[in-house]
Amino acid sequence: MDLEFGSEYDEFTKDVQDFCKEYSNAIISNANDKKFEMHDALSGNSNEKTGKVVNRSEWQRLLIEKGYFARSIPKEYGGYGGEPDIIKSRIIATEFSKNKVPNAMGGQGIDMLVPTLLEWGTEEQKQKYIRSTLHGETIWCQGYSEPNAGSDLANLQTKGELIDGNWVINGQKIWTSTAQFSQMMFCLIRTEPDASKHAGISFILIPMDTPGIEIRPLVDMTLKAGFNEVFFDDVTVPEENLVAKRGEGWSVANSVLGHERGSLANPNATMNRLNTLINLMKEETIDGRRLIDVPSYRDRLLQVQGKVMAVQAHSLRLLSSKINPNQNVKLGGMIQKLVGTELRHELEGLAIDIMGELGTLYEDDPNVRDGGSWQFTYMYFLGLIIGGGTNQIQKNIISERGLGMPREPKVTIEV
C-alpha cells in the first residue's frame, strides 16, 4: 500500500491547489442555463456560492488553457495536449472537489462523443467537431434508445439507407436529453437490415436542424430534466457523417459506454453532496434542536457516510489498477454504476427525510432549501438507476461476466 503519488507530482499538486484556492466556491454567472442543469447536478457542483463569479465559456477556456480539462486531448483539436496521466487527472479532480471549484462543462458530447471520435473518427471529423464541442459551442445529444430498444438496445429499428451519397433516416429515438438545445446528435441507426442484430448498426452524426427532424418534449418526474422524443422523417445527411465503418456502430458505442457508466456515479461528487448534507443537518433545526442532534437522523447519516467512504476508497483501488496493470479489479469496475447510483439516490433521499415537511418543497418555493436540489437529484438519480443500462441489467452483467453465472435461457414460447 502506497498512497503517495511521488515527489514528482508535488509541484503539479501545488499549482492545482493554488488555482483551486483562487476559485474556491466560484459561481458560474450563467449557471441557470438549462443546458447544464443536469451536468451540475451530476457533478455535485457546490451550492455555497461565495466565491468569484466566472462566465461559463470563459471558465471552460481557462480550464483547458491550464490543462485542468481536456488534458490529454491533442492541441490541434482544441485540447490541452498533455500526456495522459491518470495521477494528474486524479489530483485535479480531488483538489477541485475539495475546494468546491466548479467543474468544466460536461454532457454527452464531451463525455462520450469526443472520446468516440478520438478513437474512431476520421481526421476531418476530429477537426470539425472536437474543438467546438470542448468549448461548449456544439452541444450534442445521444440517439440510442428507442421505444422498443431500451434494455435490449441492439433491437433498435431506426433505419438508414444510403441513397445517392446521403443517408436517409426514418424512425424514432426516445430519452434524448438536451435534444432541444443541441446542434448535433450522435446516433445508432440500422443500416444493414440483412446483417445480424448487432452487426447491422452504424454510428451516424446528424445536425439537428436537418429538415424532417421533430423534437417532442418528454416530461419526466422531475418536470425539468428535459428528455425528448425525436422523430426522423426522411432525414438526409451526407455519407461522410458515418463514424467508423458501416455495421460497426455497436462496437463504437460500446467502446465508450463503460466510460458513461463510471461517470454517472462520480465518488467525488457523492462526497461533496455528503458534506453539503452534513452542513444542512447542522443548520436546520426542529423544535430548536439541530437535525444532526436527532439520534436516528445522525445514525442514518453515519450509515451513508460509511458507504460513501467505501466507494471513495474503492475509487482509489480502481485508480491503482490503472497505474498497476497487474492488479485485477474486474468485478470492482463492473459494480460502479449500480453502487454509485443507488448510493446517491439514498443520500439525496436522506436529506429529504430529515427535512420532514420542508423536504417536499420544490422549484422556486420561497422556503425551499438548497434551490430544491435535494428533490431534483433524488428523482434524477432514480432516472439514472433506470437509465444507462438499468440496475437490473447491471446485475445481469455482474453475475454473468463478473461471477461467471449462466445466462437466462432464451424463451422460445410466444407469450
The three cell numbers of residue 389 are 443500462
Spatial contact of 210 and 275, defined as CB atoms under 8 Å apart: no
Q: Which is nearer to another protein, 119 or 152 (CB)?
A: 152
246: closest CA among 309, 203, 187, 305? 203
Q: Which is nearer to another protein, 53 or 405 (CB)?
A: 405
Binding flag, residue 195, another protein (CB under 8 A) = no
- Side-chain-side CA neighbours of residue 315 (13 Å): 24
Spatial contact of 243 and 112, defined as CB atoms under 8 Å apart: no
The three cell numbers of residue 68 are 485542468
What is the pattern of x (binds another protein, CB under 8 A) and - over residues 368-387? Answer: --------------------
Helix (H) or strand (E) holding 281: helix 267-283
Give me the least distance between CB of 280 and another protein, in Å please: 13
Residue found by looking up cell 481536456 in the block: 70
The three cell numbers of residue 284 are 436546520
Spatial contact of 56 and 29, defined as CB atoms under 8 Å apart: yes
**Coil, strand or helix: which one is 405?**
coil
Distance between CA atoms of residues 79 and 55, nearest Å: 19
Q: Which is nearer to another protein, 215 or 397 (CB)?
A: 397
Cα dihedral sign, 342-35-139-22: negative
Stretch that binds another protein, among 16-24, 71-79, 233-241, 288-296 (CB under 8 A): 288-296
- Contacts to another protein from residues 61-100, by CB under 8 A: 87
CA distance to 62, 78, 192, 387, per residue, from 55 (Å): 10, 19, 45, 31
Q: Which is nearer to another protein, 90 or 131 (CB)?
A: 90
What are the start-end ranges of the H helices in 222-264? 249-263
Q: Which is nearer to another protein, 3 or 415 (CB)?
A: 3
Residue 317, judged by CB atoms within 10 A of its CB (0-12, 13-18, 19+), counts as exposed
Binding flag, residue 403, another protein (CB under 8 A) = yes
Binding flag, residue 6, another protein (CB under 8 A) = yes
Q: Which is nearer to another protein, 195 or 278 (CB)?
A: 278
Q: Which is nearer to another protein, 121 or 267 (CB)?
A: 267
Q: Are strands 166-174 and 159-163 parallel, antiparallel or unpaired?
A: antiparallel
Distance between CA atoms of residues 204 and 220, nearest Å: 27
Helix (H) or strand (E) holding 92: helix 86-98
Give me the least distance between CB of 155 and another protein, in Å please: 19
The three cell numbers of residue 46 are 457546490
Residue 192 falls in the annotated catalytic set: no
Binding flag, residue 151, another protein (CB under 8 A) = no
Give me the least distance between CB of 401 and another protein, in Å please: 10
Give me the least distance between CB of 76 and another protein, in Å please: 31
- Candidates 17, 132, 236, 396; binder of another protein (CB under 8 A) is 396
- Contacts to another protein from residues 293-352, by CB under 8 A: 293, 295, 298-299, 301-303, 305-307, 309-311, 313-314, 316-317, 319-320, 323-324, 327, 331-332, 335, 338-339
311: closest CA among 278, 347, 339? 339
Binding flag, residue 399, another protein (CB under 8 A) = yes
Active-site position among 37, 95, 146, 260: 260
Spatial contact of 257 and 249, defined as CB atoms under 8 Å apart: no
Give me the least distance between CB of 314 and another protein, in Å please: 4
Give me the least distance between CB of 332 and another protein, in Å please: 5
Stretch that binds another protein, among 3-11, 20-28, 114-122, 149-157 (CB under 8 A): 3-11
b/e sequence 40-54, b meaning 16+ C-beta within 10 Å:
bbbbbbbbeeebeeb
Binding flag, residue 410, another protein (CB under 8 A) = no
Q: Which is nearer to another protein, 92 or 201 (CB)?
A: 92
Binding flag, residue 4, another protein (CB under 8 A) = yes
Give me the least distance between CB of 329 and another protein, in Å please: 8
Stretch that binds another protein, among 59-67, 140-148, 247-255, 287-295 (CB under 8 A): 287-295
Catalytic residues: 260
Question: Which residues form the interface with another protein (CB under 8 A)?
Answer: 1-6, 87, 278, 282, 292-293, 295, 298-299, 301-303, 305-307, 309-311, 313-314, 316-317, 319-320, 323-324, 327, 331-332, 335, 338-339, 392, 394-396, 398-400, 402-409
